[in-house]
Structure 1
Amino acid sequence: MPYTYILECADGTLYTGWTTDLDARLAAHNAGSGARYTRGRLPVKLVYSEYQPDQSSGQRREAAIKRLPRQEKRKLIESFKFEA
């Protein structure tokens, strides 16, 4: 199942990506074998995720979230906390 996700890095920055296995991807990021961006900002924690119907949708949503200003990403994260 594809997911779009946002990670919060140890330095407070946000990283957005997509995956078909959230647990494995989060483990990869924290092991230093994830994205280059997160390697120097460990540990990371999952702060947002949303299911996508297919890989293409996941990639499009990732791109859309990356274009959002930081404040809008924070609002998205806050709305996710209320649903959890």
Structure 2
Amino acid sequence: MSITRDADVLGGEPRIDGTRVGVRHVAARVVDGGQSPAHVADQLDLLLAQVYETLSYYYANIESMREFERANDDAFDRVRGSSLKPKEPVK
């Protein structure tokens, strides 16, 4: 098991090797969502050891993970700001 990065998968964000499950995805469920590691492993079809290894990587690289989160938030804000808005109804 290991954490890997590939520019063609998840935009280069760290993920569990052999999957499309990102480190931030696991951390969001366990750290932010309060789900147990066992529940996350079951829901994402992972080994419990993979979840713990992912969380270890997350905490060992917390600043990098926060930078990915900021970049992701900025990208969503740009898309949200440039997306088409529905016309207001004519009164």
**TM over 0.5, yes or no?**
no
Name the TM tier (shorter chain): 0.3 to 0.5
TM-score, normalised with respect to structure 2? 0.31
Q: Which has the higher contact order (CA 8 A, sep 6+)?
A: 1
**If you compute each CA radius of gyration, which structure gives the higher value, 1 or 2?**
2
Give the strand-richer structure, 1 or 2.
Answer: 1
Give the helix-richer structure, 1 or 2.
Answer: 2
